[in-house]
Amino acid sequence: MRVIEIRGKGGPEVLALAERPMPVCGEGQVLVRVAAAGVNRPDVQQRKGLYPPPPGVTDIPGLDVAGVVEAVAPDVTWPRPGDAVCALVAGGGYAEFCLVPAPQCMPIPRGFSFAQAATLPEVFFTAWNNVFWLGRLAEGETLLVQGGTSGVGMAAMQMARELRGATVIATSSSAAKRAVCLEYGAHHVVDYREADWPDQVRALAGGAGVDVILDGQGGDYTPLEMALLAPDGRLVLIASHRAPMAEISTRDIYIRRLTLTGSTLRARPAAYKGRIAQELVAQVWPLLEAGRIRTHICGTHRLEDAAAAQAVLDANAQIGKLVLTVSDLAETIP
């Protein structure tokens, strides 16, 4: 099968088309013939050598796929060969065939093409896990999303508004991106390049402050974000692009009962991811099918052009999602 390999650490030029043997299903696994694969920020981090695959996981990049089930292990009851699915994977998406633990497979929302479905798993799993499970966002609370037009941000903003009636504040870097935030769930949006962005967020949140913050920046943002949190507020970290180290007041944690938490999903067990899949299919898939939650594709590239897709992320020029088309089925609706 054709795959994309990462040949050394570096820029998009280290991505190369290669041939690898077809993978074979092990216990509990499904082999998917990939029609389209999502491109995510963690793929870029992997290419730079900053986010290696967990032990036992393929070195082929790619964290979400949509396609048709080619084969299943004898112990798998769903999905069945021939079913159209989308799925979260810990690696291997940039390929013509991909192994997936069965619990991480989901049906494709009605009316969605394979390419659209490939944009869903990584960002919706991440937003669900961090905003609803770890962040415990409750009805009517206030959510701050750093980077509202990221794939994860757009999923988080819309789910928080639709499913929790939350007040959503987003940050973003350009006027065009800020307009998109307002179309995809944000009530308010702030330019994070302005030095007083925390004051602007504080004024918008009003009253006690923000209940939950979803942040991929870390570093010097962390004390600023802690100061924005309401009593009992939760700061959920999903990356540390600014810096992994931060100087914070531990006193704030106990005086205002703050929670500092975070996660990466990649190394979590299939059963954990399967529980998220079930909740997404039950609660979010109907909203996608009704058009109340949307996915936004800003660019589509062929598998062999994966380097061009990642270059868009390197330039921070993406809004929402980038997709790799892997087969002729990509733009069709199953």
Ligand X SMILES: NC(=O)c1ccc[n+]([C@@H]2O[C@H](COP(=O)([O-])OP(=O)(O)OC[C@H]3O[C@@H](n4cnc5c(N)ncnc54)[C@H](OP(=O)(O)O)[C@@H]3O)[C@@H](O)[C@H]2O)c1
Task: Tally Cβ neighbours within 10 Å of residue 223.
Answer: 15
- Under rule CB under 6 A, residue 104 binds ligand X: no
Under the criterion CB under 6 A, does residue 295 sit at the interface with ligand X? no
Least distance to ligand X, CB of residue 212, Å? 15
Beta bridge partners of 18: 3
Is residue 121 near ligand X by the rule CB under 6 A?
no
CB-CB contact of 10 with 43 (8 Å): no
- Cβ neighbours for 291, distance < 8 A, ≥ 6 positions apart: none
Of 264, 283, 300, 327, the residue at the interface with ligand X (CB under 6 A) is 264
Residue whose C-beta lies closest to ligand X? 216
- Residue 263 touches ligand X, criterion: CB under 6 A: yes
20 token code pair: 């690898």
Which residue lies nearer to ligand X by CB, 76 or 313?
313
Per the CB < 8 A criterion, the answer to whether 7 and 309 are in contact is no
Q: Is there binding between residue 38 and ligand X (CB under 6 A)? A: no
Q: Does 23 bind ligand X (CB under 6 A)?
A: no
* Nearest partner of 211 among 281, 295, 140, judged by Cα: 140
Helix (H) or strand (E) holding 226: helix 221-228
Both structure tokens of 163: 């499913």
Site residues (CB under 6 A) for ligand X, limited to 140-169: 146-147, 149-153
Of 22 and 317, CB closest to ligand X: 317
Residue 273 binds to ligand X (criterion: CB under 6 A): no
Q: Output the smallest distance, CB 9 to ligand X, in A.
A: 17
User: Does 119 sit near ligand X (CB under 6 A)?
Assistant: no
Non-local (6+) Cβ contacts of 189 within 8 A are 148, 169, 170, 171, 172, 178, 181, 182
Note whether 265 binds ligand X by CB under 6 A: yes
Residue 322 and residue 234: Cα distance in Å, rounded?
30
Least distance to ligand X from the beta carbon of 133, Å?
A: 12
* Minimum distance, C-beta of residue 325 to ligand X, in the bound complex (Å): 19
Q: How many chain residues are in contact with ligand X, going by CB under 6 A?
A: 29
What burial class does residue 8 get, using C-beta atoms within 10 Å of its C-beta: 0-12 exposed, 13-18 middle, 19+ buried? exposed
Residues that bind ligand X (CB under 6 A): 40-42, 122-123, 126, 146-147, 149-153, 171-173, 177, 192, 216-217, 238-239, 241, 263-265, 313, 316, 318
